[in-house]
Structure formats: C-alpha cells, structure tokens
Amino acid sequence: MQGLLGEFKNLYEGRLGKLKAKIKADSTLEHDDNSYSTEIIQNYEAQVKVYESYVKDLGEQNEVLVQTVEQLESEANDRVNSLEAKLNKAVSTAKECNQKAKGYEVELQSAVSAKRKHEDIIGDLQDRYRRLERRYNEVEDNRAALEHDLHSLVTVISIARRTGRWQLEAVKLRKVDFNRVFGESTPLKQSPKIQELNAEINQKSLAIGQLQAELGAVRADYDQLLATSTDIMK
C-alpha cells in the first residue's frame, strides 16, 4: 500500500514538474516574441499551485487512509488470532469433555452392571429369606403346639395324681395324637409319655434356634446388600 501511494505521488509530481518547465519556457518566449501575455503566465502559475496543493492534500489523505487501513488490518489480525486461540481452546476443551463423557459412560455402565448383580443377589436372598421364614413359622407353630400339648398333659397328670382319676374330657391336644398318649385306657403308669414329649420339644427348640441363627445371617446379608444397592443408586 505504501509503495502504491509513493508511485501515485511521484506520478503527479512528475507531471507538475513538466508543467512548470513548459510555463518557464513559454515565459521566455514571451520576452522574445511576445506570443504569451503576463496574465496568461500568472494563470498557469496559479493553476500549478492549485494542483500542488491538491496533490499535497491528496497525499496526506492517502497517508491517513493507509494508516487507517493498516490499523484496521492489525486489529483484524489480532481478532483473528484471538478467535483462533479461543477456537483451539474450545476444540481442546471439547475433546477433554468428550473423553470425560466416555469415561463417565464406562463408569455408568459398570455401576448399572453392578447394580443388576446386586439386585439379582438381593432377589435370591429375598427368596431364601422367605423360604426360611416359612420354615421357621412352621417349626414355631409345631413347637407352640407341642408346648400346649405338654402343658395340657402335665395338667391332666397332676390332677390324676391328686385326685386318682383321669379327667380327659377337657384335654385338647393340637399336635400329639391323643391315643398315642392315653390309648384306649389311661393308667397312671403311662406318664413316661411326657418325657418323650419333652425330648421332642427340646429337639424342636434346637431346630428353631438354628433357624433363628440362619435367618439372622440371611437378614444381615440382605441388609448389607440393600445398603450397597442404595449407595449405588445415589
């Protein structure tokens, strides 16, 4: 741009120089042969001054214009560089976010898989717990029935020993077969049946204790897995 402005300025300066030389030559001819008047020469000189002023102003304006253009180009380059830097940073950030997103996706899939496994284990434990609970309830019912029968038999025997008579009308046995204990007739010597009932009750109590311990272990495993599953869901 500066080179083009210099060429433009030199072009007009050259033309003005030629014009001045011609005027001087014409002035010399005027003194020789009076072909031009002094007034015409003055007009030429005035025109030359106007052209010189015009060229000077035009050059100054062009210089200002060039400076403005260069300043705008510099600002534009700065903005382009800034935008390129921001774009590169955004691209880098996008790549990092994409990598993090992939990592989070893998972690999520792993967590979902672990959650499903825990849910399967919890389901199995729930089924096992329900089976054990049913078995426990059955054994508990049997034990309660045997305790009731034992209490009834002890009461009948105590009354028989005290009164010398069997009062069997009020005896209601839940688990034990009535004929197994008393048969068709009921002498006092049949009281050893009570010992058999006591032994059976003791066995049931041991079984209940084992079931209670097993239920406690299953419940502890269930609670632990349930807590772990809750943590995974958070």
Q: Rounded to an integer, what distance in angstroms lies between the CA atom of residue 4 and that of residue 12?
A: 13
End of a domain among 106, 131, 147? 106
Short-list 171, 170, 175, 178, CA closest to 201: 175
> 52 and 117 share a domain?
no
Q: Rounded to an integer, what distance in angstroms lies between the CA atom of residue 229 and that of residue 113?
A: 11
| Position with higher pLDDT, 136 vs 37 | 136
Beta strands per DSSP E along 91-204 = none
Q: What is the mean pLDDT of residues 172-179?
A: 76
* Angle value at C-alpha 44, between 42 and 47, nearest 5 degrees: 110
Question: Predicted confidence band at 32 (pLDDT cuts at 50, 70, 90)?
Answer: very low
Q: Is the dihedral of CA 74, 76, 82, 84 positive or negative?
A: negative
pLDDT at 25: 64
**b/e per residue, 119-144, with b = 16+ CB within 10 A?**
eeebeebeeebeebeeebeebeebbe
The pLDDT tens digits of the residues spanning 41-73 come to: 676 776 777 677 767 777 787 788 888 888 888
Is residue 5 predicted with pLDDT exceeding 80? no
pLDDT at 186: 47
pLDDT at 93: 85
pLDDT at 33: 47
> 85 and 156 share a domain?
no
> 161 and 194 share a domain?
yes
> 46 and 80 share a domain?
yes
> 97 and 134 share a domain?
no
**Cβ pair 129, 222 in contact under 8 A:** yes
End of a domain among 106, 124, 141? 106
**CA dihedral angle for residue 151, residue 156, residue 161, residue 162, rounded to 10 degrees:** 100
Name the domain count of the chain: 2
> 124 and 79 share a domain?
no
> 203 and 148 share a domain?
yes
Is residue 192 predicted with pLDDT exceeding 60? no
> 96 and 143 share a domain?
no
pLDDT at 190: 44
Domain range holding 120? 113-233
> 86 and 141 share a domain?
no
Q: Rounded to an integer, what distance in angstroms lies between the CA atom of residue 47 and that of residue 55?
A: 12
pLDDT at 154: 78
pLDDT at 176: 72
pLDDT at 2: 58
- The lowest-confidence range among 52-61, 91-100, 136-145, 193-202 is 193-202
pLDDT at 215: 62
End of a domain among 79, 106, 133? 106
Is residue 81 predicted with pLDDT exceeding 70? yes
- Per the structure block, which two tokens stand in for 138? 């059955």
Q: Residues near 230 by Cβ (< 8 Å), separated by ≥ 6?
A: none
pLDDT at 7: 66
Residue-averaged pLDDT of the chain:
73
| Position with higher pLDDT, 227 vs 111 | 111
> 118 and 221 share a domain?
yes
> 122 and 229 share a domain?
yes
> 80 and 117 share a domain?
no
CA neighbours within 13 Å on the CB side: how many for 137?
A: 6
Q: What is the mean pLDDT of residues 16-36?
A: 59
